[in-house]
Structure formats: C-alpha cells, structure tokens
Chains A and B, each alone.
Chain A
Amino acid sequence: MSAFEEEREMMLRVQQADFVVVELTLYTDTHPDDAEALGQWREAIKEAAHVRRQYENRYGPLSLASVPTEQALEIGWRWNSTPWPWQR
C-alpha cells in the first residue's frame, strides 16, 4: 500500500467510526428511553475517539479539540497545511 492509500484507509476508518456516532445520536434524539441504543451510542463514541487518536498520531489533528504532537510541529505540520478535505 502506498503512503497515499494508507492515509486514505485510515481516514475512511475515522469517517466510518464518526458516522456511527452521527447515526446513533439522531436515533437517540427521538428514542431517549432505548437503553440498548444508549449503550451502543456510548461505545460508538469511545470507538470513534480511539480511531481518531490513531489517525491524528500519524497525520496531525483533525480539529482544534486535539492537541498536536511536538513532533508534528517539528516536521512542519500546521493547522493550515494542505490538503483540505476538498483537495484530497
């Protein structure tokens, strides 16, 4: 796998994990008493945070809610670094 493909694969995993959170959040908005869904929702948030950390450790923060590593800054990563999502 090329470096490009590897990054895309990890990004896809972040997108998948975050999507589960989006979907379960909407579901629990209208089903606040569904205990099983609430359990899945909590687990989904945990999993999404885990997958996100893996991505960000290699490629830098996806949002300003994550702390950039000193190493990332040393090798020149900046928030303003390309690519932006529409440039991928």
Chain B
Amino acid sequence: MWVYEKKLLYPVEVGTCNPTLAKYLMEQYGGADGELAAALRYMNQRYTVPSKVIGVLNDIATEEFSHLEMLATMIYKLTKDATPEQLVEAGLGAHFVNHGHDLFYENANGVPFTATYIQAKGDPIADLYEDIAAEEKARATYQWLIDVSDDPLINDSLRFLRERENIHSLRFRESVELLKDERDRKKIF
C-alpha cells in the first residue's frame, strides 16, 4: 500500500502562464517515454523478478509517481490562468474542448496514454534492458524540453528530473549485473 505525503519530491515553481510549454511537458506526463509509463512498467514488473532486484523496481516505480506529480504540478500551474483563446493559440484548443482545464494522460500531440507503450516479457534481463532504454529516452526528452523552454524556474525542476533518469538508468544497469552474477554462479555449481 501507499501513504500520501503532502509535499512534492522537489520544488516546482513557474514563471508565467505558458500553455505552449505545458503542451510540450505532456510528453513526459502521458507520452510513451513519460513518467506514467515508467511508473506502471516498473510497478508491474516487480512481482515476478528475482528478489535481488525487487527493491530497485519497487523504489524507482514509487519515485516515478512523485515525478508524475511534479509534471502535473507544472502543467497545472502553466495552464490554470490561461483563457480559452490562449489555449487555442498554444495548440491546446482540442484539449480544452475535450477536457476543459483538466489534465489528461496524453502526449504532446494529444494522443491518449496506452498500455501498449510498455512491456512485461517474463524475462528479467529483457525487462531490465527495456527499463534502461526507457530511462535514457526519458533523459533525452527532458533535455529537449529544457532546450525549448524559456522558463528558468521550470528548467530547474526539469534538470532535477533529467538527473534522476541518469541515476535510475545506472541502478537498472547494476541490477542487470547482479542478475548476471547470480546466473554465472549457478553454472559453476
């Protein structure tokens, strides 16, 4: 189970209302390499992996939910005061017609989230390689977001998230090595 903590993992502050930037950030909210995909992927894989790597999947999945909350906070703050005209101008007219000012799990192009973004292969090495790739793709996406964003406050939060993807990738790569060591030891006996 989980207990909610009434705080963000890392501060999220916003310069000005900026629905264009919010639209781009949706890529990491409900996109293929986004935080929802990451959280759901790891949370689902943790049940059947060898015990040595359950902790990594459990704890990174939990952290991804806190990243999802940071993204939601950015998108909410960047759009809450936007007029319908500003949303249309930012390319969020279709979003507004369907969802009003609500958030939705969709990518920057408005494509809704789908479980087909993620996989569970029944093979821990294959799954961990997918997880490493997911972290690297998320890291790259954060870099592109920083490149197109002109909000220094948002960029501070995005840089934090980009660095976390690096750490997660590293921990998953170490997990692969732990499993390979275990496999090789079994062969000796």
Contacts and interface: CB of A to CB of B under 8 A. Distances in A.
A84 B72 CA distance: 13
Nearest to B4: A63
Nearest to B172: A30
Interface string B67-93: 001001100110000000000000000
Contacts of B63: 22, 26
B7 A62 contact: yes
Q: Chain A interface mostly helix, strand, loop or mixed? A: helix
B174 A86 contact: no
B186 interface: no
Contacts of B167: 23, 26
**Chain A interface residue bracket vs B:** 20 to 34
B6 to A, nearest CB: 5
B interface secondary structure, majority: helix
Interface string B43-76: 0000000000001100110010000010011001
Given A29-B171, A62-B6, A85 B69 contact: yes
A64 interface: yes
A11 B7 CA distance: 8
Interface of A: 11-12, 14-15, 18-19, 22-23, 25-27, 29-31, 61-65, 84-86
22 contacts: A14-B7, A15-B7, A15-B8, A15-B10, A18-B7, A19-B9, A19-B10, A23-B167, A26-B171, A29-B56, A29-B59, A30-B56, A30-B174, A62-B5, A62-B6, A62-B7, A63-B3, A65-B3, A85-B7, A85-B8, A86-B8, A86-B69
